[in-house]
A and B are shown apart, each in its own frame.
Chain A
Amino acid sequence: MKYVFLFCGTAADQAAFDALTPDELRQRYSQVGRWFAENQARLGHGNQLQGPDTATTIRFQADGKPVVKDGLFVEGKEIVGGYTEVEVANLDEALAMAKSWPGRGTLEIRPVIEQR
């Protein structure tokens, strides 16, 4: 099964991250690096995203006309900060992998519609 992990967080998560000392930050990055290394065989394409203030939204009106606006498409609490594809046997394996994620915040797991 193929899944996408969406790494999300709230403004409070971001503030907690910004408050890390340089030492804690180094430690966090090394834990995250280790997680990616350990799971390399199961990971597909993925990226970390620039912050929400760099987002641009295009909303299509009922008549199909696109309207461009600055910012996120919803001012929700959770902001997607990155994503990665994951290839594992089933949801239990995906959950085990997600639970070992050393970052904080929220992780959403979505199955991918696979083209056969």
Chain B
Amino acid sequence: MRSAPTPAATALAEVFREEAGRITATLIRRFGDFDLAEECAQDALVAAMESWPREGTPARPGAWLLTVASRRALNRIERDKRYDRKLAEVALEPRRDEEDDRLRLILTCCHPALSREAQVGLTLRAVCGFTTAEIARAFVASEATVAQRLVRAKRKIALAGIPYRAPSGAELAERMGEVLAVLYLFFNEGHLSTHGTAAFQRDLAEDATWLAALLSRLLPDEPEVLGLLALMKLHLARSDSRFTESGELVLLADQDRARWDATLIAEAITLIERAARLGRPGPYQLEAAITACHAEAPSFEATDWLQIVVLYDMLLALAPSPIVRLNRAIALWKVEGSAPALHELEAIAPMLDGYHLFHAAHAELLNDLGRREQARAAQRRALDLTENFSERSLLEQRLFR
């Protein structure tokens, strides 16, 4: 279980994420230098962390941060003796819409020419206002490693000519795929991880949801953004019932549905319906719709499994994967019985041989069909793999390693 951060830490995190992206974007606009802007915004956040708890939070925290960041930037430029040239650019650059600039910032941080870990690090720092130390804590990596990756990423932006721009049309849709993958990675890191115990740890799942909500305002006609936001809300609605007091995982069938957050579920369903009206289905919308079927069901048995099978079929048509086929087979079991489900499962066996949940489902189906000995063998395989899996997955999911 995660312990709650202190109210002061939460308030600080909220100010940072509201302001960090705006300040970085404003500085890039003024100085035309991504690296400089990002560094100076970060310097201002670090300065605030030191001085605000001591001297109190200023009346206008955003203005305070922007002033500090701008002063740092000017100092650095002066030091680099590029002052005249940059000053001329500052005077010429017209002011643009701030929201638009944050979209450009997000898209630049998640540029496909950057590695996933660089995308994650840059987005957390430049858009959400995480410090390098916070990123290191969240991903269980050393601060030096994270810092080094960020330096390398910003060097690549400058040297490879990655532009600070928001594309449109088909290119935007393609680039959004990268952005959404990064957001979902943050979310899962925060939502699924159990290592977040420090009182000052920022809640990655909450930051990811905030960022998805921001994107849904910047791009109201992108249905996949709405789908991802809905999916996050559905997971959050059920997060309290996912673990026992002692931190053990509770399976969906055994969760106390009375503890699910009905308001969040209703918000998610409204988002799914809004996305559906745009008429462009996608993997996140379908994942959200499937999760909504579970969230709306009064009990595990009374779940609309047929609807879930149909949604999995649509998902498979868009994004085929053996894991999705496994989940579909489990839903099919509830609709058509054990024999057709087992047939499905055996078709994907070679692809999922190393996945413990495959063998767990296989064992249940074999047991259901009275094939006890085979069921026991599958169960053993599942257990063998589980031990390795929890260790391995922890290692594999750690970025920055």
Contacts and interface: CB of A to CB of B under 8 A. Distances in A.
B92 interface: no
A99 to B, nearest CB: 10
Interface stretch (B97-105, B155-163, B257-265): B155-163
B169 to A, nearest CB: 12
Interface string A71-99: 00000000000000000011110111000
A67 to B, nearest CB: 33
B167 A91 contact: no
A105 interface: no
Contacts of A58: none
B163 A92 contact: yes
A90 B113 CA distance: 12
B113 A95 contact: yes
Contacts of B171: 92, 96
Interface of A: 1, 3, 89-92, 94-96, 109, 111
- Kindly list the 7 A-B residue pairs having the minimum CB-CB distance in the complex, ordered from nearest: A90-B163, A1-B161, A90-B161, A91-B161, A91-B162, A111-B160, A91-B160
Contacts of A96: 171
Contacts, number: 27
B194 to A, nearest CB: 39
Contacts of A109: 160
A97 to B, nearest CB: 13
A90 B162 contact: yes
Interface in B245-264: none
Contacts of A1: 161
A94 B162 CA distance: 10
Nearest to A113: B159
Contacts of A92: 162-163, 165, 167, 171
Interface of B: 111-113, 159-163, 165, 167, 171
9 contacts: A1-B161, A3-B161, A89-B163, A90-B165, A91-B111, A91-B160, A91-B163, A92-B171, A111-B161
A3 B162 CA distance: 12
A94 to B, nearest CB: 7
Contacts of B163: 89-92
Nearest to A94: B161
B281 to A, nearest CB: 25
Given A90-B162, A91-B113, 4 more contacts: A90-B161, A92-B162, A94-B161, A109-B160
Contacts of A111: 159-161
Nearest to A1: B161
Contacts of B167: 92
A109 B113 CA distance: 10
A111 B163 CA distance: 13
A23 to B, nearest CB: 31
Contacts of B113: 91, 95
B51 to A, nearest CB: 38
A1 B163 CA distance: 11
Q: Which of A90, A91, A109, A111 has the most CB of B within 10 A?
A: A91
B85 to A, nearest CB: 13
A89 B171 CA distance: 17
A61 B74 CA distance: 48
Nearest to A2: B161
B209 to A, nearest CB: 29
Nearest to B157: A91
Nearest to B163: A90
B332 to A, nearest CB: 37
